[in-house]
């Protein structure tokens, strides 16, 4: 029996603002779409957290036995500087500033994005479509919306008619906004505006003479509206209805609200059954912002080349830190928080190494209940992917491992195998954590430590207590704890 039949998974659906039982349209197949990056600059940590959160979702669904088609787009056209319908295309602007072709900008930052996500051990999506690769499909969708009477063309641009759509549908349902409040919160249209309502948004925009990225269309040369690409690419690869759509909370309005309107206008239904949104990152208690300088790039995080941190942190440590907070909760980056997370991460990795040395049999003073522990781990993840609660249960297992007799841990051989398989599955397959010591020369570290242990053992044999104590104390000062036992001396990272 597949695990998904044994587990009732509940997701927090942003559309209905409550947790709902996950029931895929065509189990065991699951369709999941996540809004990807606009590739005009280096990916920032807020983006990374979103994609790592949905990597967790993807991993757990796969662990349960679902066959997931995971689609995440690349926005390489149509995203204007002010996130509305005015200004330059972000990629075109960057290309102009650097005297490069727009696709050179796209290539550079797409490769950079892939590199960063690989360092975070994020699994690539099943399909990664681009906006420029789907211009024909976007033009077809504009035609459908026009034919439905829910858009209008003015001077080569096509705008979605939000008030008309709202006559028969609830525009604002996802974000919880009422159209009357939205209208009262907008500025009056000036005489230069082509829109009938300030809420209307472009689904096709006429390119002015300075606009670099442009395509032929029935309405003249132009480019697709930013919101349109996700409606088009999600339904092309996942069907007119699909299971999960994810993204950052900042995309809920207007981007995702507009997606719902476009899908409903073109296909007759809102397409998405479960909307999932990840929360924001802050840095030292304040919003991350380029304008204030309160920013931190992934490479700065890894290298420590920033005044915000006293040292660099391994990508797996950062990933572990992110997993300690629920994906829907706000997360604050700080030097102190990362140092604390690193200690927990190292304890977890050390326990996994010890686990491989445990032998079955014997009696144990531990009251560790394997069946109950496994149930708790799945219960945590089935509750809207509650990774912090899962991690708490993993540390219950760490305490058992650290307290067990290596020669006879108290579990039967079948139970020890089950325990080993389960904890490795949750740590490696679900949380996506790698042993950073293995990445950074863990074997060499073991060799160096064995040399120091041998030197200390010889000093003790020679009754050179001063040297023996000096080795132990200086290692302790840098976070390496020596443990003397009947079977020799071992070390652990604190």
* pTM across the whole model: 0.87
Task: Give DSSP secondary structure letters for 244-255.
Answer: EEEEEGGGIIII
Cis upstream peptide for 254 (omega within 30°): yes
Q: What is the pLDDT of residue 442?
A: 47
State how far the alpha carbon of 113 is from the alpha carbons of 15, 38, 105, 108, 118, in Å. 29, 10, 12, 9, 9
Q: What is the pLDDT of residue 474?
A: 83
Give the rounded distance of the alpha carbon of 320 from its chain centre: 12
Going residue by residue through the chain (494 aa), what tens digit of pLDDT does each one get? 899 999 999 999 999 999 999 999 999 999 999 999 999 888 889 889 999 999 999 999 999 999 999 999 999 987 776 555 666 788 888 888 888 889 999 999 999 999 999 999 999 999 999 999 999 999 999 999 999 999 999 999 999 999 999 999 999 999 999 888 887 666 665 556 789 999 999 999 999 888 889 999 999 999 999 999 999 999 999 999 999 999 999 999 999 999 999 999 999 999 999 999 999 999 888 887 655 677 888 989 999 988 899 999 999 999 999 999 999 999 999 999 999 999 999 999 999 999 999 999 876 556 789 999 999 999 999 999 999 999 999 999 999 999 999 999 999 999 999 999 999 999 999 999 999 876 554 445 666 777 888 889 888 888 888 888 888 888 877 767 787 765 567 676 65
- Close Cβ partners of 383 (under 8 Å, ≥ 6 residues apart): 10, 19, 389
Q: What is the 3-state secondary structure (H, E, C) of 261-311?
A: HHHHHHHCCCCEEEEEEECCEEECCEECECCCCECCCHHHHHHCCCCCCCC
CA distance 145 to 159: 10
- Close Cβ partners of 95 (under 8 Å, ≥ 6 residues apart): 101, 102, 104, 105, 212
As a whole number of Å, the CA-based R_g of the chain is 27
Query: Strand, helix or coil at 20?
Result: strand
Query: Strand, helix or coil at 246?
Result: strand
Q: What is the pLDDT of residue 443?
A: 47
Task: Using alpha carbons only, give the angle 89, 75, 220 rounded to the nearest 5 degrees.
Answer: 55
Cβ 187 vs Cβ 84: under 8 Å: no
Condensed to tens digits (0 to 9), the pLDDT of residues 385-442 reads 999 999 999 999 999 999 999 999 999 999 999 999 999 999 999 999 999 876 554 4
* CA nearest to 227, candidates 71, 85, 105: 85
List residues bridging with 201 in a β-sheet.
Answer: 160
List residues bridging with 32 in a β-sheet.
Answer: 70, 244
List residues bridging with 223 in a β-sheet.
Answer: 205
Give the rounded distance of the alpha carbon of 257 from its chain centre: 21
List residues bridging with 333 in a β-sheet.
Answer: 283
Neighbours of 96 (CB within 10 A): 15
């Amino acid at each position: 029996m597949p695990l998904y039949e044994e587990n009732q998974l509940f997701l927090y659906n942003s559309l209905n603002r409550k947790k709902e039982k996950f029931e895929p349209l065509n189990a065991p197949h699951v369709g999941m779409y996540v809004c990807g990056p606009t590739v005009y600059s280096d990916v920032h940590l807020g983006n990374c957290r979103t994609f790592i959160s949905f990597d967790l979702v993807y991993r757990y669904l796969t662990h349960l036995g679902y066959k997931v088609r995971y689609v995440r787009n690349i926005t390489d056209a149509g995203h204007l500087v002010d996130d509305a319908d005015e200004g330059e295309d972000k990629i075109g602007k960057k290309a102009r500033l650097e005297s490069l072709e727009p696709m050179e900008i796209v290539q550079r930052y797409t490769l950079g994005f892939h590199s960063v996500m690989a360092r975070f051990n994020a699994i690539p999506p099943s399909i990664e479509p681009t906006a420029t690769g789907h211009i024909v499909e976007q033009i077809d969708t504009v035609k459908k919306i026009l034919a439905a009477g829910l858009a209008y063309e003015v001077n080569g641009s096509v705008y979605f008619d939000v008030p008309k759509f709202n006559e028969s549908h609830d525009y604002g349902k996802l974000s919880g906004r009422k159209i009357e409040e939205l209208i009262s919160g907008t500025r009056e249209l000036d005489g230069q505006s082509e829109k009938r309502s300030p809420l209307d948004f472009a689904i096709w925009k006429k390119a002015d003479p300075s606009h670099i990225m442009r395509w032929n269309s029935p309405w003249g040369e132009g480019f697709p509206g930013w919101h349109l690409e996700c409606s088009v690419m999600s339904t092309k690869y996942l069907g007119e209805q699909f299971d999960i759509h994810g993204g950052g909370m900042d995309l809920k309005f207007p981007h995702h609200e507009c997606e719902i309107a476009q899908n409903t206008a073109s296909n007759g239904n809102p397409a998405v059954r479960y909307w999932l949104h990840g929360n924001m990152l802050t840095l030292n208690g304040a919003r991350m912002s380029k304008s204030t300088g309160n920013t931190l790039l992934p490479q700065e995080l890894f290298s420590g080349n920033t005044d915000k941190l006293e040292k660099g942190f391994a990508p797996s440590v950062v990933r572990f830190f992110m997993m300690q907070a629920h994906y829907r909760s706000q997360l604050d980056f700080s030097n102190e928080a990362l140092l604390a997370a690193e200690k927990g991460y190292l304890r977890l990795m050390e326990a996994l190494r010890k686990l491989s040395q445990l032998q079955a049999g014997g009696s144990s003073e531990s009251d560790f209940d394997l069946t109950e522990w496994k149930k708790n781990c799945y219960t945590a993840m089935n509750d809207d992917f509650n990774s912090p609660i899962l991690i708490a249960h993993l540390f219950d297992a760490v305490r058992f491992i650290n307290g067990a007799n290596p020669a006879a841990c108290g579990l039967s051989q079948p139970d020890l195998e089950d325990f080993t398989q389960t904890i490795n599955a949750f740590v490696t397959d679900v949380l996506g954590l790698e042993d950073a010591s293995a990445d950074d020369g863990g074997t060499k570290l073991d060799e160096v430590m064995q040399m120091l242990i041998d030197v200390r053992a010889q000093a003790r044999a020679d009754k050179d207590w001063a040297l023996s104590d000096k080795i132990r104390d200086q290692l302790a000062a840098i976070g390496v704890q020596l443990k003397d036992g009947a079977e020799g001396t071992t070390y652990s990272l604190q």
